[in-house]
Structure 1
Amino acid sequence: MSLLLVRYAEVGLKSESVRNQFERILINNILDSFAKEGIECLIERERGRIFVETHDVDRAIKRLRRIFGIASISSVMSCSSKLEEMRSFAVEYSAPLFARRSTFALRVRRTGVHDFSSMDVARELGSAILEANKEKEISVDLVSPDLEIFVEIRRSKAYFFTEYIPGPGGLPLGSQGRVLAIVDRDRDVVAAWLMMKRGCRVIVLSDSRDLVKILEAWTPRLTVEPSAQVEQCVRKYRALAVVFGYGSDEMEEIRKVKLSVPAFFPLIGFDDQEVERKLREISA
């Protein structure tokens, strides 16, 4: 099985108890999303990191990129964090990556107690790689290298990778309250998506199947109701707020909103071009 290293950002800023709770929610969201797509996996977590083992790396990465709370993903290979083993592994790992006369940089970070520093590792591994690839005439360039090799050392393991694949960021879906979103047009989709990114479980009120499908790609469990039943759905789902896609040029419509719960307008500061860009990103 191949190994994926999953990082989160905002979750790591929370207190220990809240972080543990959010990590559990995030892992459950990964499992739900993978189950919907028929992707088998094993998941382990460490402080600040989640590790996903799977045979279907490409499909797994595609799904992880649509799970809120994930900052980035990397496909990694691992070895022991003993310095000699890392030297040998670095040579083996990097050998197929170099073209003739290419440049490289090692980016090392470390967590835990070790008898070496990150700079020590970079120096030792860099020297070993240069020596093993003398015939290719490779060199080090720390500013603008052709290849970056990242090494993340966590306690007794070292993880090697060459790429950070961005995720949507935000907070895990379901970690915040439940809201309704009126989705009648494209910009409403963006407003609902932004609330999902903030961790809210969104109940979509819409009669447009095409708009709903865009949001369904971001959650395996999306509840949809007819758009006319706003107050009824507020009571039914105990929603904390209702979300609209109105912009600053629609003040008259905003004034007409009268509800028993707060109304949110996530796009109030967005211009039309920003909304269109975000919609393309969401729909891609």
Structure 2
Amino acid sequence: MKLLIRPAPEVAIKSKPVRRQQMRHLRQNIRKLLARLDPEIRVEGSWDRVDVEVPDGRGLSGPALELLLRIPGISTIQEIGAFPFVSLEDVAEKAVEAFADRLAGKTFAVRARRHGEHSFRSIDLERTVGAALMQASGASGVDLKSPQVEVRIEVQDDQFHIAHRKHRGLGGYPLGSVENVLTLISGGYDSSVAAYLMMRRGLRNHFLFFNLGGTAHEVGVRQVVHYLWDRYGASHSAKFISVPFEGVVAE
């Protein structure tokens, strides 16, 4: 399975040098976390996208997608079907297999792009695929301005890609692309949410805990911190600093 990852708008609007730096952080974070699932997962990209290729037949697609949905800095994740290009009719057949069940009673539009030399135009591809989908899907019609479903196809030389489901990412900035911070954590709701929001803004958190309630309290706070780090910050190491404060409370 192939996944097309787009950065969050906060990253996309930056100047070229800043965007290049943040995209590098994003690729590194994705590569580091996906390597835990399988070191053969490929991560590549450019200034406005990250391409992830997950080996088929290993049960990695679901876990990889779930992990990517928790990485700060990602706007959307699009599942991509990749096929060798044979003919326009073959592209249409693959599009029917992917979208026919999702178009019943809905309007749709086919958006095609090409890269390379081909004997057909993009509009020829759009018409061929659109006609096949109208015949096979029971769609209510074609709406080029505001369709309920968009069928996106991209032809690159002798390959073509069909965009499947799109998932919304966490947004924000890539973790580590901004400064490190020391977060005062109590284990309660407010400090935990604040830590999450800072991670989402690209801040690498280290955690400071003033222990007011003994060992049991500290164990509970460590569990909260580990949950936050494991879900949203595991691309970077984090420190947990515990300050014994029971004596102060006793006074």
Q: TM-score when scaled to structure 2?
A: 0.73
Judge conservation of contact 1:73–1:165 (CA < 8 Å) in 2.
Answer: yes
Q: Do residues 224 (structure 1) and 239 (structure 2) align?
A: yes
The structure with the largest strand share of the pair is 2
Give the match for residue 190 of structure 2. Answer: 187
Higher relative contact order (CA 8 A, sep 6+): 2
Q: CA deviation digits over 1:201-244, x for unaligned, max 9?
A: 11122341221122122122341322439xxxxxxxxxxxxxxx
Q: For residues 155 and 181 of structure 2, what CA distance do their matches in structure 1 show?
A: 39
Q: Do residues 22 (structure 1) and 35 (structure 2) align?
A: no
Give the match for residue 8 of structure 1. Answer: 7
Q: For residues 112 and 183 of structure 2, what CA distance do their matches in structure 1 show?
A: 42
Judge conservation of contact 1:149–1:161 (CA < 8 Å) in 2.
Answer: no
Letter in 1 for 2:3: L
Q: CA deviation digits over 1:1-20, x for unaligned, max 9?
A: x1111111222212222222
Between 1:88-97 and 1:207-216, the stretch displaced more is 88-97
- Matches of residues 145-224 of structure 1 in structure 2 within 5 Å? 145=148, 148-151=149-152, 153=154, 156=157, 158-184=160-186, 185-206=188-209, 207=218, 208-216=221-229, 217-220=231-234, 221-224=236-239
Q: For residues 11 and 18 of structure 1, what CA distance do their matches in structure 2 show?
A: 8
| Structure 1 residues 89 and 119: CA distance shift in structure 2, 3 A | closer
Q: Residue 25 of structure 1: CA displacement?
A: 0.8
Give the match for residue 88 of structure 1. Answer: 90
Letter in 1 for 2:200: K
| Structure 1 residues 214 and 103: CA distance shift in structure 2, 3 A | same
Q: Residue 93 of structure 1: CA displacement?
A: 2.9
Q: For residues 109 and 8 of structure 1, what CA distance do their matches in structure 2 show?
A: 22
Q: For residues 39 and 123 of structure 2, what CA distance do their matches in structure 1 show?
A: 39
Q: For residues 197 and 115 of structure 2, what CA distance do their matches in structure 1 show?
A: 36
Letter in 1 for 2:241: P
| Structure 1 residues 213 and 51: CA distance shift in structure 2, 3 A | same
Q: For residues 33 and 11 of structure 1, what CA distance do their matches in structure 2 show?
A: 20
Q: Residue 104 of structure 1: CA displacement?
A: 4.7
Secondary structure (helix, strand or coil) at the match of 1:71 reads strand
Q: CA deviation digits over 1:52-104, x for unaligned, max 9?
A: 01131111100100111111111111357x8x845531332323643495445
| Structure 1 residues 137 and 23: CA distance shift in structure 2, 3 A | closer
The unaligned stretches of length 5 or more in structure 1 are: 230-284
Q: How many aligned residue pairs are there?
A: 221
- Matches of residues 232-271 of structure 1 in structure 2 within 5 Å? none
Judge conservation of contact 1:205–1:226 (CA < 8 Å) in 2.
Answer: yes
Letter in 1 for 2:65: I
Q: For residues 48 and 123 of structure 1, what CA distance do their matches in structure 2 show?
A: 29
- The percentage of aligned residue pairs carrying the same residue is 27
Letter in 2 for 1:196: M
Judge conservation of contact 2:23–2:47 (CA < 8 Å) in 1.
Answer: no
| Structure 1 residues 7 and 158: CA distance shift in structure 2, 3 A | farther
Q: Residue 194 of structure 1: CA displacement?
A: 1.0
Q: Do residues 41 (structure 1) and 55 (structure 2) align?
A: no
Judge conservation of contact 1:4–1:51 (CA < 8 Å) in 2.
Answer: yes
When the two chains are superposed, the root-mean-square deviation of aligned CA atoms in Å is 3.2
Judge conservation of contact 1:103–1:138 (CA < 8 Å) in 2.
Answer: yes
Judge conservation of contact 2:108–2:142 (CA < 8 Å) in 1.
Answer: yes
Q: For residues 93 and 78 of structure 2, what CA distance do their matches in structure 1 show?
A: 20
Judge conservation of contact 1:170–1:198 (CA < 8 Å) in 2.
Answer: yes
